[in-house]
Amino acid sequence: MKPYLSKKYQKFKRDELTLLIEPDSGKWFFSKDEGLSLLELCDGEKDLNEILDIFSSTCDGDPEAKKKDVEVFIKSLESSGILGDVKPNKIPRFTEFYVKNAWLHLTDECNLRCKYCYRDSAEAFDNELSIEEQKGIIDQVKELGHEETDQWIVFTGGEPLLKSEMLWELASYAKEKGMSCKLVSNGLLIDKEAAKKIKSLFGDVNVSIDGLKDSHDKLRGKGNFDRAMRGIENLIEEDVKFSIGAVMTRENLDDIPNLLKLAKQINAAKVLAAPVWITGRANSELMLSNDEIVASFRKLMSQAEEPSADNVLLEIERFFGAREITKIRPYGCGAGVSLVSFGANGDIYPCVTMHLPAFKAGNIRNDSLKDVWDNSPVFQEFRGFSIDDVPECEKCTWKRFCHGACKLNAYVAHGTIKAPGLYCKAYATLYEDAIWNYGARESKKLNSPPDK
């Protein structure tokens, strides 16, 4: 076989290193300048021996030792599929779909009126589901799980603790069925009793905190930082593991680094920070620019990596960290693929952020979940989604990592999920950063490609 590096590899140089990435396959590796001149010789015309002879004659040092090094390099590129014809779009897609995460809204009622609430929560719907109907959802979700994969029921709202009796009963029901339970709460109603219940029923609890007192209260209402922190104190007293969820907006962006420090002090398991979704009550005045997102994520990533903050996993790492860039995924997010969300009135949607008329796939009072999951046009659209069908993304270098990112953001920006998201430019920069950061961490292994 004659070694061949596809001309489709794009090159990005920083200092003495070059990142080579092929957008269609998502394959990438780093090379030093010496490796680049070797790769020039991999044109599909010369065999390995010719390449070794030409290359070693141009290098200083012992030619035989050089040949050995070069041979190892070329073989490793061949075995990881980097050398050879590029086979675009051959990422295996799922053929069967299982529910991994089901979001249950117990009520749309809320004791807060946060400025940005994507649910626009305030009063309860007048046709909310009963406990028995919610149990019926849990039964049907269970049926659509995969025996080897954990299933999570996420209890949210509105404020789920306004329906605390229902919450405890449903969580124990799901737990008895072997499912894991997660709670998302504004923290206000977490008293000592609630903290005890949470400890016994939930594998994960996320309390929403958007910064220190001033910025939290600006977004979530006066006095609510102290009230939410009392809830957290009750969790701490009962030794409950908890995470913090923060929404990043124009009004609190500068305070997120302080929140990370607070999270460390109070021993939060992690901080999930995400840019505000522009839907529901969130208006575009709260929206961050792409430059603001890049600047603040860069700051947070370096802060999260400081030894002093090492017990706080900043969840944005999930999207722009080694875990994501070293494996190629067939889908971007789980919406409609492994995730389903139920409104408090039983409406069925592919994602918790997309409770919008265009994405309503059915209602649990009238439809079987299996039928909706298998056959509804909405769910089919999400499963049929391929980034290669999005004209603006098809040629993008980072498309195999990004997959267009959040589909709600694409819909908000362009009225279709087949479009780049609102934060496209930021994501492109952050994926590039993530690969370079990975490269820096793995620099000892340079000139051998990462294990994919």
Ligand X SMILES: C[S@@+](CC[C@H](N)C(=O)[O-])C[C@H]1O[C@@H](n2cnc3c(N)ncnc32)[C@H](O)[C@@H]1O
- Amino acid (1-letter code) at residue 10: Q
- Strand intervals (E) in 84-143: 101-105
Size of the site for ligand SF4 (CB under 6 A): 25
Binding-residue pattern over the window 225 to 254 for ligand X, x denoting contact by CB under 6 A: --------------------x-x-------
With respect to ligand X, which residue has the nearer C-beta, 116 or 385?
116
- Token pair, residue 350, equals 């592919």
Q: Is 362 one of the binding residues for ligand X (CB under 6 A)?
A: no
Is the Cβ–Cβ distance between 215 and 255 less than 8 Å?
yes
Q: Is 421 one of the binding residues for ligand SF4 (CB under 6 A)?
A: yes
- The listed partner (ligand SF4, ligand X, none) that binds 277, CB under 5 to 8 Å by sort, is ligand X
- Token pair, residue 106, equals 């117990």
Least Å distance between CB 45 and ligand SF4? Answer: 33
- Token pair, residue 339, equals 């995730």
Q: Is 386 one of the binding residues for ligand SF4 (CB under 6 A)?
A: no
Round to whole Å and give the CA distance between 272 and 200. Answer: 23
Q: Is 119 one of the binding residues for ligand SF4 (CB under 6 A)?
A: yes
- Token pair, residue 157, equals 């709202």
- Amino acid (1-letter code) at residue 50: E
Least Å distance between CB 121 and ligand X? Answer: 6
Q: Is 117 one of the binding residues for ligand X (CB under 6 A)?
A: yes
Q: Is 357 helix (H, G, I), strand (E, B) or coil?
A: helix
Please pick, from the candidates 118, 342, 373, 401, the single residue that binds ligand X as defined by CB under 6 A: 118
With respect to ligand X, which residue has the nearer C-beta, 343 or 404?
343
Q: Is 23 one of the binding residues for ligand X (CB under 6 A)?
A: no
Q: Is 186 one of the binding residues for ligand SF4 (CB under 6 A)?
A: yes
Our measurement of the distance from residue 88's CA atom to the centroid of its chain's CA atoms, rounded to an integer in Å, reads 24
- Within 317-336, the residues that bind ligand X by CB under 6 A are none
Between the CA atoms of 245, 248, 249 and 253, what dihedral angle is there, to the nearest 10 degrees? 120
- Within 97-116, the residues that bind ligand X by CB under 6 A are 110, 116
Q: Is 157 one of the binding residues for ligand SF4 (CB under 6 A)?
A: yes
Is the Cβ–Cβ distance between 137 and 151 less than 8 Å?
no
Least Å distance between CB 44 and ligand X? Answer: 49
Strand-pair category, 347-349 with 17-22: unpaired
Round to whole Å and give the CA distance between 409 and 156. Answer: 21
Q: How many helices (H) and strands (E) does the chain have?
A: 17, 13
Cα→Cα distances 128→104, 173, 369, Å = 12, 19, 18
With respect to ligand X, which residue has the nearer C-beta, 142 or 213?
213
List interacting residues with ligand X (CB under 6 A).
110, 116-119, 156-157, 159, 184-186, 208, 245, 247, 274, 276-277, 280, 282
Contacts to ligand SF4 by CB under 6 A: 110, 112-114, 117, 119, 121, 157-159, 186, 387, 392-393, 396, 398-399, 402, 404-405, 420-421, 424, 427-428
